[in-house]
């Protein structure tokens, strides 16, 4: 199950990276986003808002960084079966979900428009957190055995 979960995280991180890279490429080139899905057609409004940058850096670039880190951590987990590495993966995923939740609320309450790419990224981050929690249950006690005398 652990291996399946890690492969799932790798796959999701790849799709999240593609999503964020598309948004970052849009930001760099200034071309409009392709977005026309029912009530979620506000991608360009969200992308052009004052909330689309943090410290002068486009949020999409933070997404690229986040998904790259998750991808590398998951790839390492396939090779190095380490509980600490799984915990770091969980914490990283939790940070991603918290940021996604915050920015989703910004879309709803401050911008008043929805970006399908942003919401897809939020769902991907949530699924990564769920899988990361399944490969190493959060409630598991960590028993440390003292060295033999």
Domain limits, the chain: 2-135
Q: What pLDDT, on a 0 to 100 scale, did the predictor assign at position 141?
A: 52
DSSP 8-state code for residue 53: E
For the domain spanning 2-135, the CATH number is 1.20.1440.130
Distance in angstroms (rounded) separating the CA atoms of residues 69 and 27? 21
pLDDT per residue rounded down to tens, the chain (149 residues): 678 889 999 999 999 999 999 999 988 988 878 877 666 678 888 888 898 889 989 899 999 999 999 999 999 988 887 888 889 999 999 999 999 999 999 998 999 888 888 999 999 999 999 999 988 776 655 555 555 65
| Helix ranges, the chain (H) | 2-29, 43-48, 59-79, 83-105, 116-135
Q: What pLDDT, on a 0 to 100 scale, did the predictor assign at position 31?
A: 82
Distance of CA 143 to the CA centre of its chain: 30
């Amino acid at each position: 199950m652990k291996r399946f979960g890690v492969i799932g995280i790798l796959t999701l991180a790849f799709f999240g990276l593609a999503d964020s890279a598309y948004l970052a490429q849009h930001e760099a080139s200034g071309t409009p986003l392709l977005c026309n899905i029912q009530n979620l057609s506000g991608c360009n409004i969200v992308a052009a808002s004052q909330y689309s940058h943090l410290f002068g850096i486009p949020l999409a670039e933070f997404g690229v960084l986040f998904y790259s880190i998750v991808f590398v951590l998951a790839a390492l987990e396939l090779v190095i079966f380490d509980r600490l590495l799984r915990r770091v993966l969980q914490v990283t995923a939790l940070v991603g979900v918290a940021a996604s939740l915050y920015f989703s609320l910004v879309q709803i309450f401050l911008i008043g428009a929805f970006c399908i790419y942003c919401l897809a990224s939020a769902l991907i981050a949530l699924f990564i957190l769920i899988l990361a929690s399944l490969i190493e249950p959060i409630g598991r006690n960590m028993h440390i055995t003292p060295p033999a005398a």
